[in-house]
Each structure stands twice: as structure tokens, then as C-alpha cells.
Structure 1
């Protein structure tokens, strides 16, 4: 089941007796459980009405026993279970015995006053298991994948709108460039910008540039972008700023290697007809990161990208063996790469 459909059903009061949640976007999983909690249990009753387990510490027998116990002083009960091995593909301590047949029986006849939620810490379920097959038959499996870039921008704008503010498109783009696709970090920064904008105010590019710091990985994204656009002066200015922040040149080289490698992969996958979403799954990247990487790679030939990667590998070796002073070595790489163009 899509997350949107599940959330719509919760809003309408159509709540299933159990859910299995999984996916890469932990922020959306948490948002789902928060909304489910708000719908089922009043804030003052949550100590009694929300019970938490983990399959690494508790057996399925204990979890099912709790699910089959009548709620105390509340009309319904929410049982939240962190899981890696029951529905997922992970492994847990052999000290905990999980009798999955007990859970299978429960899922066939769930307790009316309990909502049981398994939160799987992984991006996929073990499709071979009877538990997974039954949950899918009951349409109780909800996936939470990373949002595509366009939806992520819409989500930021709607979050600001819900607070009576307007996030200007250019400001949203700059926020993404600075923070990256981490929805938890984006939510916090968006809320901060909304407070700064004031009631009925607008979130502007200037406000983002003033209030939102740039993380190291996002700085490297930007550094790569400046190299790709042949703006060597800007690339150097950004590099000097990273040095002022005590960033280690060897670490920056490793991040540049990763980004240029992704550029090469995205270029090759694009030739094979992969969509951005498929590329994200293949490379283990967020769809927004794929979009940015594809834009950066447009002006480079595959041969030029391979040459840059070879040079970065050589620079990494020279830095680690003391053949070149680290800060100077990366500075020379930026100057040489910019002067040679994209090829």
C-alpha cells in the first residue's frame, strides 16, 4: 500500500488492525506512526495506550501476549515494534526465539482493540516469508521510499504553508542545496525559517543564505557543481572556506571521488534508459541527489570523468604518502581541472 493511501485511511478513521512499515525514509515512517498515535490515543493517555517493543529484546510470544491484552483505562491500544528479522532480512541475537507461527495465527484473527505496528529497519522485506505474504494479502504493508526532487520541493512548500508562510521556489531550491534531502533536517530548517519570516511572511533566498549552514557533503556537491560549470574561482573560494572550517583535504578528496564516480554511473545508466528513480535504487542515492548529479554530469564526457577519477586517485595516494602537501595538492587539482575544461 502507498503511504498516501494509508494516511488517507487513517484520517478517515479506517485503521487496520496491524501494519508493517518499511523503507528508506525514516522521517516519513515516524510521521506515519505519529499520526496513527494521534488518531488512536489522547496525549494524556499515551503512557497507558502506547506500548513499545523491539524484536532484538522481546520475543514474539511477549509481543502477542501484550497485543491480546485488553487496554487499561483507554478504548484502544497501539503496540509499536522495532523489527529487523521477523519481517525484514536482518539477523538478531540467537538468544531471542521468535515463534512466527504464533504471529501468523494472530494476523489471521487480530485483537479488535489493538493496533499492532511492525517498523522494519531496512529498505526491503523478506518476500519469502509467510508473514510478509499474508500482510501483503491484507494490504497492510506500507512502504516509505525517498521522495523525488519535485515532491520534496512541494513537501517543503506545504510545510511552510501549514504554518501560514510562503516558501519562495528559489528559497526552497537553495535550502535543498544547503541541507540535502534529509527530511528531518529539512523539517527543522524549514520551521526555523518560518519563525524568522513571521506571520504571513515569506521564506526568501536571503533568509536561507543567512540562517542555514551548509553541511560538508553539500559543500562538496556545490564544489563539484562549480568544477562542472568551469567556475574555478568559485570552486577555489568554496575550498578555502572548507579549509577555514578545518575540513581535512583527504576527506574532501574521498567525497569528490564518490561524487565524480556517481556522475559517471549516472551517465552510463542514462544511456541504458534508466529513469532517475531506477538510478536512485541502483546507486543507493536519494532521487534528489541523482537529479543534481545528472545535471552536473551533462557537460562531461565519460572519458573526461574517468580521467578526473584517475587524477583524484593519484592525488589521494600522493597525499597519504606525503609526496604532496595535502591542502596545496587539492588546490592544484582544482586549478588544473578547471583549466582543462570538461572534454
Structure 2
């Protein structure tokens, strides 16, 4: 089951007795847990209605004993379990022994007054395990994979709408360019922008550019755009801004390597017919990041990307061995690259 379906069921008042939540989108998974908390218990009763465990520290016997215990002074309770062992591929701790057969029996006949939720922070369940197979067969495994590019934009605009503000697609795209794709950061920045816009106001791309500082990775992404367009003056100005923010030249060079390498991989995978979602899984990137990287890669040939990576590898060696001053070395590389010297466009 996809997370959208699970959220929809909660909105409609359908609460399942067992959920196995997995995926890398931790913000959405935690939001789902919060929705369950709100659905199961009133605020004043939550101390008695919510129990939390971790399979790295608690055995399944202890967890299931709690799940099979009647709630005290509340009609139902929620048992939240952080897990990387029972449904994930992490190794079991020597101090904690788990008996999966007891959990399988519980999943077949769950306790009526308990909602049992396992939260597995992995991109997939370990399907070699009987517990994972049973969860998928029973339809209680909920996938919290990153939102697609359009879904992420819609989510940002929808968050603004819920606060009585308007945000168009251009402003949402600018926010992602500056804040990245991590949903926790996007939510806090969206809330800040809505507060600035005021009741009934509009969040504009100009307001985003003014109020949301670009992170270092987003600045490096912009730096690659200036390199692609041979805008040497803007590339150097952006580099100097990063230096004023006390960013290390060696770190910046490493981030440039990662971005150029991602572009190279995206171009190669695109030739093989991979979809953006498949590329995201292969490269460990957010789907929106794949989309923007693919758009950016159109300005580079494979030959130029290979040459850029070779030049950065040489620069990295020279900086780390003291053959060149770090700050000056990267600036000279930007000057040479920005002029297009030795590069095939």
C-alpha cells in the first residue's frame, strides 16, 4: 500500500490494527504516526494511550505483551515500534532475542483495542523474512518513498493553501532550489513564508529568494549552472559568497564532483531507458533531484563532464598535497572552466 492510501484511510476513519511502515521519507512516516496518535487518543490521554519501543532494545515478546494488554482508562492505545531488525535487514543485537513466529500469530489475530505500528527506516522490507512476506500479503505494509517531482510541488503549494495563503508553482520550485528536497526543511520554510505573506496573502518567488537562504549544496548546484553557461563572473561571485560563509574549498570541490558525476550517470541511464523514478532508486537521489539534474545535464556533453571530473580529480590531489593553495586553486579551476578552455560544449 502506498502512503497516500494509508493517509486517505485515516481521514475516512479507517484505522487498521497493524501497520508496517517502511521507506526513506522519514518526514511523511512521522507525520503518519502523528495522524494515528491524533486518531487514537485525545491530547489529555496520550500519556496513557501511547507506548514506544525499539527492536534494538526490546524483544518482540515485550512489545507484544504490551500490545495484548488492555488500555488503562482509555478506549484504545497505539504501540509505536522503531525497527530495523524484524522487518529490516539489520543484524539482531546479542542482548535482544526476537521470536518472529509470535509476531506472525499476532498479525493473524491482532488485539482489538491496540494499533501496532512498526516503523522501518529502509527503502524496502527484507523480503527473505516471513514477517515481511506476511505484511505484504495482508496489505499492511505501507511504502513511504519520496514524493515524485510534481507531488512534492503540489504538497508545498497545498501546505500554503491550508494556511490561507497562495503559492504558485514558480515559487514552490524556487523554494526547492534553495532549501533542497528534505520535507522537514521545506515545511518549516513554507510556514515561515506563509507567516510573512499574511492571511490571504501570496508567497512569491521573489519572497522566497529574499527570505530563504540557499544551502551549500543548492549553491553548488547553481554553480554548475553558471559553469554550463560559461558565466565566469557569476560563478566566481558565487564562489566568493561561499567562501564568506566559511565553506571549505576541498568540500566544495567534492560537491562539484558529486554533481557532475550525477549528471553523467543520469545521461547514461537515460540512454538505457530508465525512468526518473528508476534513476532515483539507482542513484539514491530524490526524484525531484533527478529531474533537475537531468535538465541541467542537457547543457553538458558526456565528453565535457568526463573532462570536468578529470580536472577536479587532479585539483583535489594538488590541494590535498599542498601543491596549490586551496582557495586559489579552485578559483583558477573555475576561471579555466568558465572560459571553456579545453572543454567541448
Determine if contact 1:228/1:342 at 8 Å carries over to the other structure: no
Shift of 1:244: 0.6
Residue equivalent to 2:220: 220
Residue equivalent to 1:47: 47
SS state at 1:142 partner: strand
SS state at 2:82 partner: strand
Q: Once the two structures are superposed, what CA deviation does each residue of 1:188-217 show, in whole Å capped at 9, x if it has no partner?
A: 000000001000001112221221111111
Residue equivalent to 1:160: 160
**Aligned partners of 2:292 and 2:15: how far apart in 1?**
38
SS state at 1:335 partner: helix
Residue equivalent to 2:63: 63
Determine if contact 2:166/2:202 at 8 Å carries over to the other structure: yes
SS state at 2:339 partner: helix
**Aligned partners of 1:103 and 1:93: how far apart in 2?**
18
**Aligned partners of 2:315 and 2:119: how far apart in 1?**
44
Moved beyond 2 Å, runs of 4+: none
Determine if contact 1:21/1:117 at 8 Å carries over to the other structure: yes
C-alpha RMSD of matched pairs (Å): 1.0
- Report the count of equivalent residues: 343
The aligned runs of 1:51-130 (5 Å cut-off) are 51-130=51-130
Deviates more, 1:333-342 or 1:138-147: 333-342
**Aligned partners of 1:278 and 1:99: how far apart in 2?**
35
Deviates more, 1:40-49 or 1:89-98: 89-98
Determine if contact 1:299/1:342 at 8 Å carries over to the other structure: no
Residue equivalent to 1:336: 336
**Aligned partners of 2:344 and 2:85: how far apart in 1?**
47
**Aligned partners of 1:148 and 1:233: how far apart in 2?**
34
Unaligned runs of 5+ in 2: none
Residue equivalent to 1:200: 200
Determine if contact 1:49/1:78 at 8 Å carries over to the other structure: yes
Shift of 1:130: 1.2
**TM-score, normalised by the number of residues in structure 1:** 0.98
Residue equivalent to 2:245: 245
The aligned runs of 1:225-240 (5 Å cut-off) are 225-240=225-240
Residue equivalent to 2:259: 259
Shift of 1:37: 1.0
